Amino acid sequence: MLKKFVYWTGMSDFLVGLGTWGGAVGVAINEPGVQGKFVPLITLGTFLLMAAALLMWSSHDMKTRAPVFFWQGLVRLSAISAVVYAVPHGLSMTWEYGLLAIDGPIGLVYVIGAMKVTGASFVDLLQCKTGAESSPAAP
């Protein structure tokens, strides 16, 4: 179940990356052109596409590649933290609270799922350690 969840949420991230590219095209063809947004949006969109591909790739060997979706979970949870801070402080729009319902649960599933699949601790996964290599050596 977790394998399919990681795969399909990764697949859906392709849409977000392509949408970000669409936003870049939108600012590029705007009259007058919008400066300072095209390059960051293209770069962000490309990073999102890479993350999507990595999530799909990690779903094929969950135990070994768990740090990939673990860290993606942390990225999603950091976005949630940013929204919780930003909206009340006027740094973001209230519609972004919708991210809490989407990215929050996905982020938690990724983080908790990575720990369950590998048996590794939160700190081990922070260090990209899984399985036997995360255990201290026997005396």
- Per-residue pLDDT tens digits for 59-113: 999 999 999 999 999 999 999 999 999 999 999 899 999 989 999 999 999 999 9
Cβ atoms of 21 and 42 within 8 Å: the answer is yes
* Segments making up each domain of the chain, as ranges: 1-59, 61-139
pTM: 0.85
pLDDT tens digits, 34-50: 788 999 999 999 999 99
Give residue 134's pLDDT. Answer: 44
Give residue 88's pLDDT. Answer: 94
Cβ atoms of 74 and 111 within 8 Å: the answer is yes
- Cβ of 92: how many Cβ atoms within 10 Å? 16
